[in-house]
Amino acid sequence: MQATVKGTTLPVLEVALNQGESVISTHGELSWMSPNIAVSQTTGSGGFGGGGGFLAGVKRALGGGSFFQTQYLNQGGGSGIVAFATKVPGQILPVRIGPGSGMLVHRHGFLCGTPGVTATAAPVAGLGAGLWGGEGFILQKLHGQGEAWIELSGEVTTYQLAPGQTLLVHPGHVGLFQESVSFQITRFKGVRNILFGDNGFHLVALTGPGEIWLQSMPLPLLAHAIAPYLPQPAQGDRGFQVRL
pLDDT of residue 129: 37
**CA gyration radius, the chain:** 19
Average pLDDT over residues 226-233: 78
Q: Sheet harboring 32-33: ordered strands across? A: 2-6, 12-17, 80-85, 32-33
pLDDT exceeds cutoff 70 at 62? no
**Between residues 146 and 130, the one the model is more confident about:** 146
Q: Which domains does the chain have, with CATH numbers?
A: 2-228 (3.60.160.10)
Amino acid, res. 64: G
pLDDT of residue 45: 40
Stretch among 25-34, 43-52, 166-175 having the lowest mean pLDDT: 43-52
Backbone CA torsion sign across 53, 111, 202, 180: positive
pLDDT of residue 29: 78
pLDDT exceeds cutoff 80 at 221? no
The answer to whether residues 114 and 177 touch, using CB atoms and an 8 Å cutoff, is no
Task: Give the model confidence (pLDDT) of 65-113 as tens digits.
Answer: 555 789 999 998 789 999 999 988 999 999 999 998 899 999 889 999 9
pLDDT of residue 61: 52
Distance between CA atoms of residues 119 and 144, nearest Å:
9
What is the DSSP secondary-structure string of 225-241? HHGGGS-EEPTTSSSEE
Q: What predicted TM-score, i.e. pTM, was given to this entire model?
A: 0.79
Mean pLDDT, rounded, of the chain: 80
pLDDT of residue 138: 78
Instruction: Give kind and range of the element (H or E) at residue 41.
Output: strand 37-42
